[in-house]
Amino acid sequence: MMITVQLDKNKHDRNRFDCGVNALNAYLKVMANQQSKKDNTRTFVLEDENKPKHIIGYYTLTMAPINLELLPNKLQKKHHNAGSGGLIARLAVDKRYKKQGYGEWLLIDALKKLLLVSETVGFPLVIVDAKDGSIEFYEKFGFMAFQDTVNKLFLTMADIRVSLT
Ligand SMILES: CC(C)(COP(=O)(O)OP(=O)(O)OC[C@H]1O[C@@H](n2cnc3c(N)ncnc32)[C@H](O)[C@@H]1OP(=O)(O)O)[C@@H](O)C(=O)NCCC(=O)NCCS
């Protein structure tokens, strides 16, 4: 059974992780644990079952303000009182484990966590900061770009609920 656990710097080999994008490697190495200690973000990792020290992939969750003007009109009206959305700030899979479905599995795992959180602390959207080259990956799952923005995409909680339940 696959489960994600919170990043544990004493257990997980952060230096080994290589997704091919330096900024995403560096975040895991030097920022993720510190940011979690400060309660700014949470980072979850998927361990290799055979070698639990080895990180297959990770994602980082937090909240972010919703830029209402960049939403389609209908959603702007519906959510004009909303403040924040759940943010998948980072998501990456190690090169050695790419193209095996782990990225998709991690994305769904992150959405499940955010859906659960939203039952307690309501928010209407999940936002993702997509690096160049991964935008199409998110579009496959229904994420739509904010107007005039290339790297920020969103999915409504209403759509996530329908997909996951
Ligand atoms: C994007 C990322 C998370 C995908 O992880 P992955 O484990 O390889 O993805 P999966 O195997 O779960 O793929 C799921 C689906 O998305 C597709 N996909 C994967 N990466 C994609 C990409 N970059 N663009 C478009 N589609 C992509 C796969 O073909 C697959 O589709 P299928 O089910 O129809 O075969 C991973 O490539 C990553 O860590 N990216 C960060 C590094 C990055 O952004 N690199 C820039 C591109 S080189």
What CATH number is associated with residue 119? 3.40.630.30
Residues 45 and 7: their CA atoms lie apart, in Å, by 6
Instruction: Quote the ligand 1 centre to 140 CA distance (angstroms).
Output: 10
Tell me the pLDDT band of 150, cut-offs 50, 70 and 90.
confident
Average pLDDT, the chain: 97
Q: Residue 45 belongs to what H/E stretch?
A: strand 42-47
Q: Would you say residue 20 has pLDDT above 90?
A: yes
Residues 71 and 65: their CA atoms lie apart, in Å, by 13
The whole domain housing 146 covers 4-164
Residue 131 Cβ < 6 Å to ligand 1: yes
Mutate to test the pocket of ligand 1, among 137, 139, 140, 153 (most ligand atoms within 8 A of CB): 137
Total tally of structural domains belonging to the chain: 1
Residues 110 and 115: their CA atoms lie apart, in Å, by 9
Q: Would you say residue 35 has pLDDT above 90?
A: yes
For 100-133, write each residue's pLDDT tens digit. Answer: 999 999 999 999 999 999 999 999 999 999 987 8
Average pLDDT over residues 74-83: 97
Instruction: Quote the ligand 1 centre to 157 CA distance (angstroms).
Output: 23
